[in-house]
Chain A
Amino acid sequence: AQSVTQLGSHVSVSEGALVLLRCNYSSSVPPYLFWYVQYPNQGLQLLLKYTSAATLVKGINGFEAEFKKSETSFHLTKPSAHMSDAAEYFCAVSEGRYGNKLVFGAGTILRVKS
């Protein structure tokens, strides 16, 4: 079974600073990988996804992630944090008979300080 590990349940950055949220995956086959964001009391919104095309994936709101097979990582970055980025972020890998089952990591809460 596939699995995802997110390092750091809480990350705090200053406004304007680099955001780095870490995700490592375990997969026996080339994975599809996703980052979702969840604001309080809301559903999940897709930020970006890796589907075995370009290893550097650009998403919405200025986020991007790089797939590194040698490190089994898919870390999420944003050059300059904004207050509105404060939310919980989930990394996920797909598995299942059709490949549409999302297995989520435990999540990382991002706090942005003014």
Chain B
Amino acid sequence: DAMVIQNPRYQVTQFGKPVTLSCSQTLNHNVMYWYQQKSSQAPKLLFHYYDKDFNNEADTPDNFQSRRPNTSFCFLDIRSPGLGDAAMYLCATSREAGAIDTQYFGPGTRLTVL
């Protein structure tokens, strides 16, 4: 089945220690998204790639970076995680970048910062 895969499902890191979360997709979609969902809150878009074009949300902290080396993979890098960065991180994809294009979500990676 075509799908969005996130690894690992659970990640523990130490305060200030860089961490990378991974997302891959077999849907061959052009657009990949990263959302942050803190406990009991709504998901919030951090950034997205349309093909190789990176689109950052204005309020996304500089501490968060992303890489998309090819169509299938997208990475979220947190350079110096703080306690406030503990959250579920959701990857999503869509075929195109229009509002009408359904976003398909992965199962998420739950990040714990000690």
Q: Which residues of A are in contact with B by a Cβ distance under 8 Å? A: 32, 36, 41-46, 49, 51, 90, 94, 97-102, 104-107
Does the CB pair A98–B103 fall under 8 Å? no
Contact of B50 with A by CB under 8 A: yes
Q: Which residues of B are in contact with A by a Cβ distance under 8 Å? A: 4, 6, 31, 40-45, 48, 50, 55, 57, 90, 92, 94, 97-108, 110
Does the CB pair A99–B99 fall under 8 Å? yes
**Using Cβ atoms and an 8 Å threshold, which residues of chain A touch B31?**
100
Does the CB pair B43–A100 fall under 8 Å? no
Does the CB pair A100–B106 fall under 8 Å? no
Q: A43-B90, A43-B105, A44-B90 are known contacts. Are A101 and B100 too (CB-CB below 8 A)?
A: no
Does the CB pair A42–B99 fall under 8 Å? no
Measured between alpha carbons, how far is A48 from B44 in the docked complex, in Å?
20
Does the CB pair B48–A107 fall under 8 Å? no
Q: A90-B42, A100-B48 are known contacts. Are A43 and B107 too (CB-CB below 8 A)?
A: yes
A-B contact pairs, 23 of them (CB 8 A): A32-B99, A36-B105, A41-B110, A43-B105, A43-B106, A43-B107, A44-B43, A44-B90, A44-B105, A45-B105, A46-B103, A51-B100, A90-B42, A98-B97, A100-B94, A100-B97, A100-B98, A101-B48, A102-B103, A104-B42, A106-B41, A106-B42, A107-B41
